[in-house]
Amino acid sequence: MTMVWTLGRGAIFTGALLFASTSAQAHVKWFAPYIVGAPPQSLSSVLKDTWFWIGIALVVVFFVLTRLIEISPLGNRVHDALDRSTDVLWKRLDDYVRVTVGAFFVAIFSVGGVYLTPDLRTPAEWVSWLQLAIAACIFFRKTMPLAGIGILALWLLAIRDYDLFHLFDYLALGAGVAAYLILEPSKNENLRSHRFEALRWGLAIALMWSSLEKFAYPDWFYPLIMEKPFLTFGLPRDVFIPMAGVAEFTMGFGLLWTPLIRRLSAIALIIIFTAAVWPFGRVDLIGHGLIMAILVAVACDQCRVTRFLPSLKIHLPAIPGGIAAALVVFATGYWGLHFAFYGASGFTGPAMIERATHSHNPEQPHGPISDTGIGAPPTK
């Protein structure tokens, strides 16, 4: 009973954190103006934010409680329940992944004019047809590696039109999907056994990297919150944004931990991304479709083996230590690479000022100036 009560409190705390972050998972670059080269908020400002540390503490509590359950007799029962509920999909997981990845590329072909994701727009019509060809290659196991190479090629082609730093947002996820498509038809069973792991790592790294935008550029989210104030569920703006960033980063980190933590992290993220579709529409559904599909695959994964650093992850103190190490690595990489690309003062010249994700239309009201005036230059 004590354990159940403790777990219940942890679930309530973490549920509050996830509830607070639910609608913030729409990629801000798809819906609001942005300047990639603008100077990010300093790391010291992030580390001084009390709500950042409260969010970290809540997640550590939840992960520790989950790990305690995992090593108890209850852990096997939880896994068994998850296995029973996902068994039908697990038995055909490769078919599921192939169909959903193929459907994603058909969807972005039908949208047209983008490289892989809604904010990487291109006038080149042949790009859309290449994405349809990628979808076709996925239907045949012999041509699946060509689809994987095609995904990497699209990312490289996007470098012609977009800053490399911007494209880092999509590198890990694209590489993870490409690795799966190359490994799945392999006759080397040892290599093939890592195909779902490649998907999971690619998604986890992508989530942790993109979450840093909420700490580096909280002002990017202000236009969305001003136009859709219900997104914060009544929380103050500057409480909501860092808590959302913590949720995204730590749930991404959870995908790399022990089996129960990664499955529950995937389920939590599925709820978050699904809820974000309601306020942001089909652009969000298509843009995050690949992420949501991979999360379902992670939740269905019945493998109870921890392959990477298993001797470390079995220890409870490794949870806060691992989160801290991941934060150091990713924050150093994000702020350090931004400094390397743009310098201390950043780049906000005319070439970047007018770059916005969408023109005006009922589904994406944001542009350089939205229909409510957000994004307009300050009056003199």
Q: Please check the confidence at residue 348 and state whether its pLDDT lies above 80.
A: no
Q: What is the DSSP code string of 281-308?
A: HHHHHHHTHHHHHHHHHHHH-------S
199 touches 176 (CB < 8 A): yes
Poorest-confidence range of 42-51, 63-72, 330-339, 367-376?
367-376
> How many CB atoms within 10 Å of residue 76?
12
Specify the pLDDT at position 36. 78
Average pLDDT over residues 72-87: 91
3-state secondary structure of 367: coil
Residue 185 and residue 141 in contact, taking contact as beta carbons nearer than 8 Å: yes
pTM beyond 0.75: the answer is yes
Q: Return all residues near 65 (Cβ < 8 A) that are at least 6 apart.
A: 6, 7, 10
Distance CA 271, CA 265 (A): 10
Residue type at position 186 = S
Q: pLDDT digits over 105-141, tens only? A: 998 888 888 888 877 888 888 988 999 999 999 999 9
Question: Is pLDDT of 362 > 60?
Answer: no
pLDDT score recorded for residue 120: 81
